[in-house]
Homo-oligomer: A and B are copies of this chain.
Amino acid sequence: MTQLQRRKIPDAAIARLPVYLQILNNLAAANVLRFSSDELAALAGVNAAKVRKDLSYLGSYGTRGVGYEVTYLTHQIKRELGLMREWNVVVVGAGNLGCALAKFDGFLSRGFPVIAIVDNDPKKIGRTTSSLTVGDVKDLKSIVRDEKISIGVITTSAASSQAAADALVEAGITSILNFAPVVLSTPSSVSVRSVDLGVELQILSYFEQMRLETGGKSENAPQLNSAGAR
């Protein structure tokens, strides 16, 4: 393999790496030094061969007969995912969800500090929520530039979400996490991941319905989301 080019990791594997990483953090906290693919597989709820294959995309970082080192592999996964640094985040939409996410510990603790929050509603602009003052979406461009923001999170209403996306793109953002139940249209150079909480419940509804109809005999497919961004 030519050295320079980055390995092409399958989307499905990319989506699992953060899960492995989370588990490695827990192992480290429990002072575990080493683990085998079997152990990680059990903790992640997947097949051991899949763990080995996923990790092999990073390189050959295990030791046969022994396993993988927690700290070393943690480092490698973080490197691959681009987590050796922090990525600043701006939240667009200062409603319930937006404010909750701005305070949300799970962003900061994983290296994604929410640096700014903006809205287009004059009634919300200027309010303060957890040490952040709601800015004007019109100022997005300068905020993104001045605060070196890399990722935009859209928590507006469905109706405003496309405008929010347009504003983010215009401001130079190339990674968007969208919570509005809308398929955004953006240039192909921008990565978009959409989390539609309604969709999640509707999928559960399908299986619940199934269970009622079949009297609970239905088997459950494994839950796995693929990576990839549009």
Contacts and interface: CB of A to CB of B under 8 A. Distances in A.
A195 interface: yes
Contact of A18 (B23, B43, B203, B230): B203
A35 interface: no
A188 interface: yes
A136 interface: no
Interface string A132-156: 0000000000000000001100000
Interface stretch (A66-74, A116-124, A163-171, A206-214): A206-214
Given A97-B100, A197-B101, A15 B192 contact: no
A206 B82 contact: yes
A106 B228 CA distance: 25
A126 interface: no
A9 to B, nearest CB: 8
Copies in the complex: 2
A193 interface: yes
B201 A195 contact: no
B209 A18 contact: no
A177 B201 contact: yes
A22 B197 CA distance: 12
Contact of A211 (B106, B174, B214): B174
A177 B193 contact: no
Nearest to A45: B183
Given A6-B213, A224-B226, A96 B87 contact: no
Given A81-B206, A151-B205, A190-B220, 4 more contacts: A106-B181, A177-B197, A195-B200, A220-B228
7 contacts: A15-B199, A87-B201, A111-B205, A175-B207, A195-B195, A195-B200, A221-B228
